[in-house]
Amino acid sequence: MKMNGGLGPEAPSCAARFRVTGAGRAPGLLLVLLLSGPAFAVADPKEMLPDPQQEARAEAIGSQLRCLVCQNESIEDSNADMAKDLRAIVRQRVVAGTTDQQVIDWMVARYGNFVRLKPPLMLSTALLWATPALGLLLGGLAAWWGRRRAVEQGGPAPLTAAEQARLRELTGAE
Amino acid sequence: MLAPLGLAAAAGLAFWKMLDRMAAGKFDPHALDNPLVGKQVPDFSLTGLGKAKGFGAADLKQAAAAKPVLVNFYASWCIPCAEEADILASLAAEGIPIWAVAYKDTEAASGEFLNRYGNPYARIANDAAGRVAIDWGVYGVPESFLIDRSGIVRWHLAGPLTEDSVRSELRPALRAIA
Amino acid sequence: MIPELGNFALALGCCLALAQGFIGIYGAWRRDSRLMAATPGLAIGQFLALAASAAALAWAATHDDFSVLNIVQNSAAAKPLLYKITGTWGNHEGSILLWGLVLAICGAAVALAGGNLPTALRARVLGVLGGTSCGFLLFALTTSNPFARIWPPAADGQGMNPLLQDPGLAFHPPILYTGYVGFAVPFAFAVAALLEGRIDAAWGRWVRPWALVSWCFLTCGIALGSWWAYYELGWGGYWFWDPVENASLMPWLTGTALVHSAIVVEKRESLKIWTVLLAIGTFSLSLSGTFLVRSGILNSVHAFASDPARGIFILALLALVIGGSLLLFALRAPRLASGGIFAPISREGAIVLNNILLCSICAVVVVGTMYPPFCDLLLGEKISVGAPFFNAAVLPLAIPVFAAMAVGPLLPWKRARLWPVVQHAWWAALIAVVIAGACSIGMKILPALAFGLSAWLILGSFAEVVERTLLFRAPVASSFRRARGLPVAVLGAAIAHAGMGVTVAGLAGASLSTQKIVSAKVGDSFQSGGYEWTLMRLEDVDGPNYSSRMATIYVKQDGVPLTLMYPSRRTFPLQHQTTYDVAISTNFLRDLYAVLGEERDGAAVLRLHVNVLAPWIWLGAGFMALGGALSLADRRLRVGAPSRARVAVPA
């Protein structure tokens, strides 16, 4: 893994992050980007496209693309030098009139599917995309199984006198 | 009722395997694959940095047809680049042609860097804007690529060359295309 | 000397925890009343030892004892006193100690408040807590000792990450950890119940308050963390689906499910096996989340990848705690009697639906977070899973939760019909549809839907209150009398559910927010979001351990002066780091949010946001926690259970 120095000439915020993490000084807190310098993306107003619609499109595309030298940040959110370059390329291509998918494909051709924050549906990500449906399916099955088990056990077992007294106590005044 | 235990056990086993391989240095969750490996070098053309001779895809393919070329992206402001300087020098001394792409660098800074750490490069192309590097899928410096006789990228390393990676990766790759 | 005492106290705490674990389990197994009676004392002793240990670390930090490695790495003489103290838990070693301390506090609380529990159950619960605690203290002692010394001592510390120098973040870990670790108590109850082989309504009644307290803390902890990200990171974001955030979301989701399913156990003696599994699962996710995030496997900022050995220790510990409890579950759960049957449409049915959906969301978060390393390991493919995936996958599951949330509490237990519910809540649905319709004119479909759902949640949540107090139908005085007679828990649930609605509205508000990035010279004015922003001044200001560059921005609306804002950029020389101090001016309907960026050629980059409804995101979380706390105050939760305890489990 490339550490400090390998990221960009103007030591971007991400580099600081690598440095600290590399030194084993990760704090024990449970919050995102704790060590990240505050990313201050699109820090330069000149970077933005003059046409607000094109700029919005570029931002939408950029937020789907991962900043390669950062941890789980899109190129829109990152202040890293590399992210800045990629942002500029996205904007150039948006102005040139390419489709969103073409811009993403252009990035994938260079950096692989790693660059996509939303992985495409393919064999290796089938399980990932199936998770919501699988969760519902398994949950439904468990509920059905639990109900069948309860019915098989004869439904609400006849309460003993002591249990009935307890039940009255439990449900209280209701 | 065994399902939760089974799931947890499978996850635990996979985690153990990852940690084990991480400790052995065989698994780096942070490393990246470069899709260029197995493909033709992308088209580009760059001028030289300072007095050095630049090159483009055509020059590179032509030279590689005679003898496989190691392409090295470096920058004078990059600390790990200095770390691999000795290894690059010894590879150059063996007669392996090393062509460099200076990433976002200036002539003055690069000249000083090469004076200090030695110049193992046969040619140095100037990628001041860093756009060619992006076409190569480079996401930081240093990165090295091995180009075979037919102009195909055979091997890639993101990060500095080390004795270990030269022995276990670069040399087998060189032997395979020799 | 003091750090040595701290180290000794830590070791003592570990020994007491071991004794507590062994004596608790063994004593209850042997039915030895003398052994069982010893466990509360051991739990309190463990707490005192760890409190002393934490105090020793705080002493070392406040007295700048730079012979302690942890202090050298994370503190500095120039650091403000408050942050010297809070900094003790802002690093790996200290946070493990805090973990242990909170776990010991939970044990002591069970020991003190559990006087009415059956002796055997209490001994088992304390035993499980003690055993778990012992494992983590052992981890602290062997691999992450906060009291490790260095020789020769350093002249000054290296200082902590400047981003941590913030009041919001200083108190974030204790609150979050209380949430995480608090779920150890329901976990211990679940394991104890499996050991005993029976669960009844009384068990549900004991577990629920503990689960609720932890849930409230976790809710506050997550909200505080996201609020910190919002005002400290400086680009208006508050949730990034980072593995570290996801780690806190997972137990929150299953914990929310647990808080609900425990009601069913308590009221209907149903869903017992499921509730036990949830209690085990929630704490397992707390553990895995906090610890595996630090193993270096996940592509997160917090990885301490440098040390896979620590990861192996953690993994072994997790295998013991999680694997052991799940094995016990597999062996014992089939023997638990199932309870009352209920129709699919009923209060129980609604809670089952809520549980399925929440757990599915949790599954998405777990799988999404873990997928990249697993995919890499098993298939050799590098992929990323980030915010766009989570948004796409979670949304279809979250919408039905929101839609059903308002209806659930209106359904009677056991068997229900939907028609009466429609009669009670039609007005809320109507208003919600009107709002969604009105919004859809000027907005995209999703935000409009979100605003409609939010109205539905807020209004629908109070439909039960309206119904039970006969509001608008009976005279106000009579409604008020009925309201006072209302169980506090009903009000608590309504407030918590409405709180979710408030949060949803806050999230949807993002679609109305505007931002502008400008390059400004002193005196320049800009129009953005309906406000006029003028850069009045740029000046240097010095802080205790940083120097700062501060801008003064004058904001006017329609020519009327509104406020002055002071965003600044702080440079910490010791850490060579710059942080952005955001200026926020809120009226609770929108935040004016200004950030001062870099300066070039006399012009400063300013980022000016108008974040519509943004404060509602955290306001809603506050309501959720408040609702949970109100439910806790319900006298039905506090009384009743003890008297039947002795009948329930003759020990």
Q: Is the pLDDT of residue C141 over 90?
A: yes
| Domain end point (choices C479, C511, C543) | C511
- pLDDT reported for residue A154: 61
- Average pLDDT taken over every residue of chain C: 87
Q: Do A85 and B80 touch (CB under 8 A)?
A: no
pLDDT, tens digit, 9 for 90 and up, residues C373-422: 888 888 888 899 999 999 999 999 999 999 998 888 888 888 878 888 88
CA distances from residue C73 to B73, B112, C213, C215, C572 in whole angstroms, order as listed: 35, 35, 34, 33, 16
Query: ∠ CA A75-A76-A78 to the nearest 5 degrees?
Result: 65
| B37 and B23 share one domain | no
Percent of chain C with pLDDT over 70: 94
C neighbours by CB contacts (3+ pairs under 8 Å): A, B
Q: Is the pLDDT of residue C336 over 80?
A: yes
Q: Per-residue confidence at C479, pLDDT binned at 50, 70, 90?
A: confident
Can you tell me whether residue C467 is helix, strand or coil? helix
Q: Is the pLDDT of residue A11 over 60?
A: no
User: Domain count of chain C?
Assistant: 2
Q: Do A150 and C234 touch (CB under 8 A)?
A: no
Report the C-alpha gap between C639 and C510 in whole angstroms. Answer: 44
Pairing of strands B123-127, B98-103: parallel
Write out the two tokens for A5: 């120095």
Q: By C-alpha distance, which of C423, C415, C266 is closest to C349?
A: C415
Percent of chain C with pLDDT over 90: 50
User: Domain count of chain B?
Assistant: 2
Q: Per-residue confidence at A3, pLDDT binned at 50, 70, 90?
A: very low
- pLDDT reported for residue C108: 95
Residue C603 maps to a domain: yes
Q: By C-alpha distance, which of C505, C492, C487 is closest to C402?
A: C505
- Tell me, yes or no, if B19 comes closer than 8 A to chain C by beta carbon: yes
Taking the CA of residue A129 and the nearest CA in chain B, the distance in Å comes to 18
Q: Per-residue confidence at A39, pLDDT binned at 50, 70, 90?
A: very low
Where are chain A's structural domains? 13-120, 124-171
pLDDT, tens digit, 9 for 90 and up, residues C528-577: 989 999 999 999 998 888 889 999 999 999 989 999 999 998 888 877 77
Q: Do B33 and C299 touch (CB under 8 A)?
A: no
Lowest mean pLDDT among A126-130, B173-177, C461-465, C562-566: C461-465
End-to-end distance of chain A based on CA atoms, in angstroms?
64
pLDDT, tens digit, 9 for 90 and up, residues C52-62: 999 999 999 99
| C428 and C418 share one domain | yes
Residue of chain B with shortest Cα separation from C329: B1
Cβ–Cβ under 8 Å, residues C339 and A156 = yes
- pLDDT reported for residue A21: 26
Residue C470 maps to a domain: yes
Taking the CA of residue A86 and the nearest CA in chain B, the distance in Å comes to 8
Comparing C303 with C466, the larger pLDDT belongs to C466
- Average pLDDT taken over every residue of chain A: 73
Residue C429 maps to a domain: yes
Q: Do B75 and A9 touch (CB under 8 A)?
A: yes
Q: Please name the residues in contact with C444: beta carbons below 8 A apart, sequence gap of 6 or more.
A: C511
Q: Is the pLDDT of residue A16 over 70?
A: no
Cβ–Cβ under 8 Å, residues C310 and C293 = no
Which amino acid is residue A8, in one-letter code? G
Q: What are the two backbone dihedrals, phi and then psi, of residue B135, each rounded to the nearest 5 degrees?
A: -60, -30
Element (H, E) at B6: helix B3-23
Instruction: List the beta strands (DSSP E) in C480-530.
Output: 514-520, 525-528
Element (H, E) at A96: helix A81-96
Pairing of strands C547-557, C531-542: antiparallel
- pLDDT reported for residue C70: 87
Q: Per-residue confidence at A160, pLDDT binned at 50, 70, 90?
A: low
| C435 and C504 share one domain | yes
Q: Do A2 and B159 touch (CB under 8 A)?
A: yes
Q: Do C378 and B2 touch (CB under 8 A)?
A: no
DSSP B170: I
**Structural domain that includes position C474:** 407-511
Q: Is the pLDDT of residue C610 over 70?
A: yes
| B25 and B37 share one domain | no
Residues C439-450: what's their mean pLDDT? Answer: 87
Residues C137-159: what's their mean pLDDT? Answer: 88
- pLDDT reported for residue C641: 43
pLDDT, tens digit, 9 for 90 and up, residues C454-470: 999 999 988 888 877 77
Residues of B with CB under 8 A from a CB of A: 28, 30-36, 75, 77-81, 104-105, 130-131, 134-137, 139-142, 158-160
- pLDDT reported for residue C321: 93
Report the C-alpha gap between C579 and A38 in whole angstroms. Answer: 6
For C64, counting Cβ atoms within 10 Å of its Cβ (0-12 exposed, 13-18 middle, 19+ buried), the class is middle
| Domain end point (choices C455, C490, C511) | C511
Q: Is the pLDDT of residue A31 over 70?
A: no
A neighbours by CB contacts (3+ pairs under 8 Å): B, C
For C137, counting Cβ atoms within 10 Å of its Cβ (0-12 exposed, 13-18 middle, 19+ buried), the class is buried
Residue C370 with chain B: CB contacts under 8 Å: 11
Residue B142 with chain A: CB contacts under 8 Å: 2, 6
- pLDDT reported for residue C307: 63
Q: Is the pLDDT of residue A27 over 70?
A: no
Report the C-alpha gap between C414 and C424 in whole angstroms. Answer: 19
For the structural domain made of A13-120, what CATH number should be given? 1.10.8.640
Please spell the DSSP secondary structure of C91-135, one letter per residue: SHHHHHHHHHHHHHHHHHHHHHHGGGS-HHHHHHHHHHHHHHHHH
Residue B135 with chain A: CB contacts under 8 Å: 110
Residue A166 with chain C: CB contacts under 8 Å: 201, 644, 647-648
Residues C86-103: what's their mean pLDDT? Answer: 89
CATH code for the domain of C554: 2.60.98
| C437 and C473 share one domain | yes
Residues C613-622: what's their mean pLDDT? Answer: 95
Which of C98, C357, C381 is opposite residue A124, by nearest beta carbon?
A: C381
CA distances from residue B167 to B87, B164, B172, C523 in whole angstroms, order as listed: 11, 5, 8, 63
- Tell me, yes or no, if C580 comes closer than 8 A to chain A by beta carbon: yes
Residue B15 with chain C: CB contacts under 8 Å: 292, 295, 297, 311, 315
- pLDDT reported for residue C424: 81
Comparing C75 with C473, the larger pLDDT belongs to C75
pLDDT, tens digit, 9 for 90 and up, residues A77-114: 887 888 889 999 999 999 999 999 999 999 999 999 99
End-to-end distance of chain C based on CA atoms, in angstroms?
46
Interface ipTM: 0.87
Q: Per-residue confidence at C122, pLDDT binned at 50, 70, 90?
A: very high
- Considering Cα of C120, then C123, then C126, then C130, what sign does the dihedral take? negative
End-to-end distance of chain B based on CA atoms, in angstroms?
58
Q: Per-residue confidence at A7, pLDDT binned at 50, 70, 90?
A: very low
Cβ–Cβ under 8 Å, residues B167 and B91 = no
| C504 and C518 share one domain | no
Q: Is the pLDDT of residue A35 over 60?
A: no
Query: ∠ CA B95-B97-B102 to the nearest 5 degrees?
Result: 140
| B63 and B25 share one domain | no
Residue C226 maps to a domain: no
Residue of chain A with shortest Cα separation from C243: A32
Q: Please name the residues in contact with C122: beta carbons below 8 A apart, sequence gap of 6 or more.
A: C36, C39, C40, C110, C111, C114
| C522 and C445 share one domain | no
- pLDDT reported for residue A159: 61
Cβ–Cβ under 8 Å, residues C359 and A89 = no
- Considering Cα of A165, then A167, then A170, then A172, what sign does the dihedral take? negative
Q: Per-residue confidence at A38, pLDDT binned at 50, 70, 90?
A: very low
| B56 and B79 share one domain | yes
Which amino acid is residue C169, in one-letter code? L
Q: Per-residue confidence at C162, pLDDT binned at 50, 70, 90?
A: confident
- Tell me, yes or no, if C212 comes closer than 8 A to chain B by beta carbon: no
pLDDT, tens digit, 9 for 90 and up, residues C75-94: 888 888 888 888 888 888 88
Residue A82 with chain B: CB contacts under 8 Å: 139-140
Report the C-alpha gap between C75 and C68 in whole angstroms. Answer: 10
For C52, counting Cβ atoms within 10 Å of its Cβ (0-12 exposed, 13-18 middle, 19+ buried), the class is middle
Residue C102 maps to a domain: no
Report the C-alpha gap between C184 and C106 in whole angstroms. Answer: 8
- Tell me, yes or no, if C374 comes closer than 8 A to chain A by beta carbon: no
**Structural domain that includes position B48:** 31-177
Report the C-alpha gap between C507 and B61 in whole angstroms. Answer: 54
| C453 and C521 share one domain | no
Report the C-alpha gap between B50 and C109 in whole angstroms. Answer: 73
Residue C305 maps to a domain: no
Which of C74, C290, C519 is opposite residue A45, by nearest beta carbon?
A: C519
Report the C-alpha gap between C576 and C529 in whole angstroms. Answer: 35
Residue C244 with chain A: CB contacts under 8 Å: 30-32, 34
pLDDT, tens digit, 9 for 90 and up, residues A141-152: 999 988 888 888
| B107 and B122 share one domain | yes
Residues C88-104: what's their mean pLDDT? Answer: 89
